[in-house]
């Protein structure tokens, strides 16, 4: 075995070449030692389930997402905040409850009423449905009044239908998604008497087309009514005074519920508040359901 002095003498005699060899050998030994320790650490981690859990949690969550998801996104929306899954808004989900908390029989629906001039933004709420053997016999609107110059307006924030039984008694009110502004302006009813109650059968919306600033979307709603007890009864129009909103134009009437059926449910599309100094439009569109008599 060589003493330190002898080793130094050898390094001195061989010069820089010997020094380089010693450095390379030392680095190789350090690498072997580190690899051995890392292997021991890996074996210990595999034997320890808690360490395995920590490894999984620290993975990038995006790596676990499927490459092709079933949910389709509508990329045509001009505002990314309004992007939503493309789901048929006319569908009443299975097990949906009516306004009395009872499971709604979807087989009652004979037709879905839609208009063509509804606004394009916002999300659809859940359907609000009249109880069995009751129908919409009137309606009310939640409207924000004119806010004046340089202030944002939303106008129509909600529509609700008044559900009445065949005996004319009110069974409750149905409203889907509701905007936060304004107040209800009062019920407007189809004709009724001690011997009959008429019910809603069609609707139309007054809507302001999209503009650069100051969008209000839907402003007002009007309905048609009919007597369900008569097979040849004619429809007539009802609308809350003064008969129109502040902005926009009336679109065409929806189709009418088939004979011996009337409106029994509502679903509305409402844009949520967009925040400070951003344009709000509240209620944009609505659909109604007809049920058999």
Query: What pLDDT, on the 0 to 100 scale, is given for residue 277?
Result: 63
Name the stretches of the chain with pLDDT < 70: 1-87, 148-152, 212-214, 275-278
Query: What pLDDT, on the 0 to 100 scale, is given for residue 155?
Result: 83
Three-state SS for the chain is CCCHHHHHHHHHHHCHHHHHHHHHHHHHHHHHHHHHHHHHHHHHHHHCHHHHHHHHHCCCHHHHCCCCCCCCECCCCCCHHHCCECCCCCCCCCCCECCCCCECCHHHEEEEECCCCCCCCCEECCCEECCCCEEEEEEEEEECCCCCCCCCCCCEEEEEEEEEECCCCEEEEEECCCCCCCEECCCEECCECCCCEEEEEEEEEEECCCCCCCCCCEEEEEEEEEECCCCCCCCEEEECCCCCCCCCEECCCCCCCCCCEEEEEEEEEECCCCCCCCCCCCEEEEEEEEEEC
Query: What pLDDT, on the 0 to 100 scale, is given for residue 275?
Result: 65
Query: What pLDDT, on the 0 to 100 scale, is given for residue 285?
Result: 96
Query: What pLDDT, on the 0 to 100 scale, is given for residue 213?
Result: 67
């Amino acid at each position: 075995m060589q003493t330190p002095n002898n080793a130094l003498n050898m390094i001195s005699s061989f010069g820089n070449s010997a020094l380089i060899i010693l450095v390379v050998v030392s680095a190789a030994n350090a690498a072997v030692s580190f690899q051995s320790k890392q292997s021991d650490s890996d074996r210990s981690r595999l034997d320890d389930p808690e360490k395995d859990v920590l490894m999984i949690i620290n993975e990038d969550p995006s790596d676990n997402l499927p490459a092709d998801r079933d949910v389709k996104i509508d990329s045509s929306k001009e505002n990314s905040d309004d992007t939503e899954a493309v789901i048929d808004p006319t569908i009443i989900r299975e097990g949906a409850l009516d306004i009395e908390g009872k499971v709604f029989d979807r087989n009652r629906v004979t037709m879905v009423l839609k208009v063509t001039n509804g606004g394009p933004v916002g999300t659809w709420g859940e359907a609000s449905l009249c109880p069995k053997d009751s129908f919409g016999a009137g309606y009310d609107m939640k409207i924000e009044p004119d806010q004046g110059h340089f202030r944002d307006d939303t106008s129509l924030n909600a529509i609700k239908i008044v559900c009445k039984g065949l005996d004319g008694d009110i069974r409750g009110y149905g409203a889907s998604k509701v905007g936060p502004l304004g107040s209800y302006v009062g019920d407007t009813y189809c004709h009724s008497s001690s011997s009959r109650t008429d019910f809603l059968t069609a609707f139309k919306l007054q809507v302001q087309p999209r503009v650069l600033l100051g969008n209000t979307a839907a402003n007002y709603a009007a309905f048609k009514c009919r007597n369900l007890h008569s097979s040849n009864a004619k429809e007539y129009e009802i609308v809350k005074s003064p008969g129109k909103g502040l902005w926009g134009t009336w679109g065409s009437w929806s189709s009418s519920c088939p004979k011996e059926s009337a409106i029994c449910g509502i679903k509305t599309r409402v844009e949520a508040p967009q925040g400070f100094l951003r344009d709000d439009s509240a209620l944009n569109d609505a659909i109604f359901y007809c049920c058999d008599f």
